[in-house]
Structure 1
Amino acid sequence: MWFSCESGITTILRSRLATIATLMLNADLAPALAFQERSLQAVSRTFALTIPRLPQGLREPVGNGYLLCRIADTIEDDPELSWSEKARWQEAFVAVVQGRAEPDAFARDFAAVLSPQMPAGERELIRNTPLVIQVTRSFNATQQEALARCVAIMGSGMAKFQEQASRAGLADLAALDSYCYVVAGVVGEMLTTLFIDYEPRLVVREADMQRLAVRFGQGLQMTNILKDFWTDWERGVNWLPRDLLARHGVDVAALAPGQDNPAFQHALLELVAIAGRHLDAALRYTLMIPREQTGMRDFCLWAIAMAVLTLRRIAAQPAFQRAEQVKISRDSVRRVVWMSQLLHRSDELLRLAFRVGVRPLPQINGGVPA
């Protein structure tokens, strides 16, 4: 009896000590978590909307993972750095995330060379890299490994593609797949690891989810590439595949916004169709998440629906000249949110809604959009 009583008291004390330790950790993290929330609002309209839908305990690592990726993107997007300088800074940042270098030095040194042309929110994010890493260090080993792996693959991959970036485009569809993987597919893999860590029932579906996660990321990234084509073109970059453009008879050197170019428009429509097929895989991924995990489903569904609506706008006006012409409206986003929350528990209704949503998109018959 005495042993049992002592054991019970010990258990209670350990539990209370663990609670106190957690409260102290959360108190120490409060400024860093507050910055994370502010920064998400400043650097991403889409993820600032979707991440709060995730359950507590998953929201924090996903938000942190996005900011880590945003720092890597900031390095890639700087218009004044050479590709070799970008590669060096990507390596430096990977070392920070992996714990091999101090975030304070990275923040200080990279902020000093970051172009003033970069958005204010991204410059603030770089200056506060130590706060981002403080949150990263609070996660369990599985979560930290997932974040570090993603940043390492993304950083080295983006540096490689920056070296060959030009208006000539990527070599072929396989190269486009590789580019989409390093900037988005690997993010899907990271998110899947975080989802499974949070929801153990997904373990039995891990292999299928990881495979579909890559296509999920590819569908979203292809949508962004198509929407932002002329913006990238103005800065001397083209991420479309040369083999597909050539098959449609597109003279890449003669491309210019606003011209009547049926060949280029047909090439865009074929890529829209390919992106739509990837988004079908994204829906299958989402339906593997248990129905009662509505926040996790909404996180995925909102991204899918906004991508489908963007592809529809591109398909409706393939001669668009600016990204703003095919960007979806705030009213459309509100309708996406409403529909998702209405349907997110029903696999059958979600499949039906997706079929209706993609109906206006071109389909491929023998390599040509129908």
Structure 2
Amino acid sequence: MSNILDSIEVGESTMNRREAWKYAEEILLQVSRTFALNINVLKGKLHKSILLAYLYLRIADTVEDDPDMKASEKEVILGKFAEIFKTEKLPDESIAAFEQALPESWRKSEHPYMNLCLHTHVVVPLLREMPETYAAPVRAVTIEMCHGMAKFALRQEAALSSGWFTLESVADLDEYCYYVAGIVGKLLTNLFAADTCLIGESRKAEMQKLDVSFGLALQVANIVKDCVEDSGRRVCFVPEEICRRHGFAHSYEMFAVPAEAGARADFDKRRAAVMGELVQKAWGHLNDAIAYTKLVPNIKMRTRLFCLWPLFMAAENMKLIGDGSSLFASEKKVKITRDTVKRIVKQTTLHFYSDSWIEKSYAKLKSEAQTL
């Protein structure tokens, strides 16, 4: 597990505060290039608090996603991780108890996710340096996400034992998305408000009406984009109630293509209609997320860019997906190109301050998606 530390010329036995931050910055690039782009546009305490929050949530997610652990084991380990954050002291003994509970096989892994988990003792103490107005929201969101992930890990294991993991209702989908993304929106409002006096109580209250939807926008867009890939592990987040409206008894039937050519056209039409409903749900949350971003004071360039980049990337992906039928038209995953990412970064950097530009550019994207 020393390879990442060696690459940044940091020896674990002599790691000091500066080197610990260097490790945190380096491991971020290895566990998420996409979010690293957004996080690294920020500066100062806001950058540090969101960086740490992302790493803590990645640790929890790594435990929840492990294919070899039983759900009951995940529940215990996630509980130990949550225990660390129940006091601002972030006790060293609680950190050690969490690391000791991790699977022995992870200690032999070269994967950055496992490396991060086994260096919880490096990244968690950094939160002690942050003012309480920044640290408290990070602790709260980590605890809440751990509890939510444990709940869905148990539910997923029970479902997979009989075939597929599915969600019955749109409410179930919203609950899942809340725990993995919606609460991040709540975190951001608290951190944005901590970072500037320009977000007073009234503006913060308006942001809080939209912040969960901000998180859901990105998560639902990802669920749409990744639905075919998820089906490969017998997981489908498309609610069963939507599928039944279009003639599928279960969501996983969308991936069982009929052999008869005559039945294929109707099948494709019904499947596109299902995904079309989810696409519209994603657009609805994106509408809220754009409104949320405009509540960020327009002199806060970096904070606005942090929000605008993933939102416009998600909107561009939704444009490519159209009514949903393109998701099944090719084995190649639907996603935007690097050139599109560069264009988003360039244009938003030039126009971040203009609410009218944001509104018009987003409306144009949405309109183009509906005409494809």
TM-score, structure 2 normalization: 0.85
Q: Distance in 2 between matches of 1:231 and 1:121?
A: 22
Q: Distance in 1 between matches of 2:102 and 2:330?
A: 34
Amino acid at match of 1:90: L
Partner of 1:66: 54
Give the match's secondary structure for 2:353. coil
Q: State the superposition RMSD in angstroms.
A: 2.2
Partner of 1:89: 77
The 8 Å contact of residues 168 and 241 in structure 2, kept in 1 or not, is answered as: yes
Cα offset, 1:257, TM superposition: 7.0
Give the match's secondary structure for 2:129. coil
Amino acid at match of 1:312: K
In terms of mean alpha carbon deviation, does 133-142 or 183-192 score higher? 133-142
User: Is it true that 1:352 corresponds to 2:350 in the alignment?
Assistant: no
Partner of 1:135: 126
- Residue number among 168, 175, 178 corresponding to 2:175 in the alignment: 178
Partner of 1:272: 279
Q: Distance in 1 between matches of 2:291 and 2:255?
A: 37
Gaps of 5+ in 2: 1-14, 259-263
Amino acid at match of 1:170: L
User: Is it true that 1:339 corresponds to 2:342 in the alignment?
Assistant: no
Q: Distance in 2 between matches of 1:173 and 1:84?
A: 26
Cα offset, 1:119, TM superposition: 7.4
Partner of 2:44: 56
User: Is it true that 1:282 corresponds to 2:289 in the alignment?
Assistant: yes
Cα offset, 1:357, TM superposition: 1.2
Q: Give a deviation string over 1:77-106, Cα, whole Å, max 9, x none.
A: 101112111111110111123335532332
Cα offset, 1:258, TM superposition: 6.7
The 8 Å contact of residues 320 and 369 in structure 2, kept in 1 or not, is answered as: no
Amino acid at match of 1:295: R
Partner of 1:199: 196
The 8 Å contact of residues 141 and 187 in structure 2, kept in 1 or not, is answered as: yes
Q: Distance in 2 between matches of 1:28 and 1:148?
A: 23
- Residue number among 18, 23, 27 corresponding to 1:39 in the alignment: 27
Cα offset, 1:46, TM superposition: 1.4
Identity of aligned residues (%): 32
- Residue number among 78, 85, 90 corresponding to 2:66 in the alignment: 78
Partner of 2:7: none
- Residue number among 140, 143, 156 corresponding to 1:149 in the alignment: 140
Amino acid at match of 1:294: M
Cα offset, 1:325, TM superposition: 1.9
Q: Give a deviation string over 1:114-142, Cα, whole Å, max 9, x none.
A: 497x8711011011111110211211222
Q: Distance in 2 between matches of 1:206 and 1:361?
A: 32
Q: Distance in 1 between matches of 2:107 and 2:19?
A: 27
Q: Structure 1 residues 206, 113: CA separation in 2 closer, same or farther (over 3 Å shift)? A: farther
Cα offset, 1:255, TM superposition: 3.1
Give the match's secondary structure for 2:210. helix
Partner of 2:114: 123
- Residue number among 191, 196, 220 corresponding to 1:222 in the alignment: 220
Larger Rg: 1
Partner of 2:151: 160
Q: Distance in 2 between matches of 1:361 and 1:215?
A: 21
Q: Distance in 2 between matches of 1:130 and 1:162?
A: 25
Partner of 1:12: none
Amino acid at match of 2:148: G
Q: Structure 1 residues 258, 326: CA separation in 2 closer, same or farther (over 3 Å shift)? A: farther
The 8 Å contact of residues 188 and 214 in structure 1, kept in 2 or not, is answered as: yes
The 8 Å contact of residues 273 and 362 in structure 1, kept in 2 or not, is answered as: no
Q: Distance in 1 between matches of 2:20 and 2:85?
A: 16
Amino acid at match of 1:245: C
Partner of 1:309: 316
Give the match's secondary structure for 1:54. coil
Partner of 2:328: 319
Q: Distance in 2 between matches of 1:71 and 1:191?
A: 19
Q: Distance in 2 between matches of 1:113 and 1:190?
A: 33
Q: Distance in 1 between matches of 2:120 and 2:107?
A: 17
Amino acid at match of 1:45: R
Cα offset, 1:222, TM superposition: 0.4
Amino acid at match of 1:220: L
Q: Distance in 2 between matches of 1:362 and 1:89?
A: 45
TM-score, structure 1 normalization: 0.85
Q: Distance in 2 between matches of 1:131 and 1:288?
A: 35
Q: Distance in 2 between matches of 1:247 and 1:175?
A: 17
Q: Distance in 1 between matches of 2:370 and 2:171?
A: 21
Cα offset, 1:174, TM superposition: 0.9
Cα offset, 1:213, TM superposition: 0.9
Q: Distance in 2 between matches of 1:70 and 1:321?
A: 31
- Residue number among 86, 107, 119 corresponding to 2:99 in the alignment: 107
Amino acid at match of 2:349: Q
Amino acid at match of 1:179: Y
